[in-house]
Amino acid sequence: MTKVRRALPEDAAEVLRLRQVMLDSVFAAAGSSDWHGESLPVLRSRLAAPDGDLAAFVVNHPERPGLLAALAVGTMEYRIGRPGNPQGRVGHVFSVATDPATRRRGYARACVESLLDWFREQGAGQVDLNASAEAEPLYASLGFLRKPDPSMRLTL
């Protein structure tokens, strides 16, 4: 069985490294990692708040101590309730990644399952995510369904 643990502040640099792996795979070489330095202190602070609205679950790299093999990160949000989710608690998975050298070992699945357990403990009525075509079978096997999405975005 894969040993999954909650990420700690000292994992922040590795969390950013794996997030870059995910970004590069989804957005075809998303670009430089220049943003890591500015993001690192914020992420460390968020990982240090175990009762906060962000959770990251990780698996240690089996061959390289100090590195992570996989991660799943998500946040809890409040939205005004609605039918099917009257309490308005919504989980959002936004970063799932596996080190290229450790793929196909079930690490990402184990991390996502731990994150879903955390969402349940937090009282989430639903969990949303955006899936790449490559990752869609994993999420479908966990019960996620494609939905029509009229999403729009404004970058500030």
Contact partners, residue 106, CB within 8 Å, separation at least 6: 2
Predicted local distance difference test score (pLDDT) of residue 153: 65
pTM of the model: 0.91
Residue 154 is predicted with a pLDDT of 64
In angstroms, how far apart are the furthest CA atoms of the chain?
47
What's residue 24's pLDDT? Answer: 85
pLDDT of residue 92: 96
Q: Which DSSP symbol is given to 99? A: -
* pLDDT confidence of residue 25: 82
> Going from the N-terminus, what domains does the chain have, and what CATH number goes with each?
5-141 (3.40.630.30)
Return d(Cα 39, Cα 129) in angstroms, integer: 22
Distance CA 36, CA 20 (A): 9
Over residues 13-47, the pLDDT tens digits come to 999 999 999 988 877 655 677 889 999 999 999 99
Regions of the chain with pLDDT less than 70: 28-31, 152-155
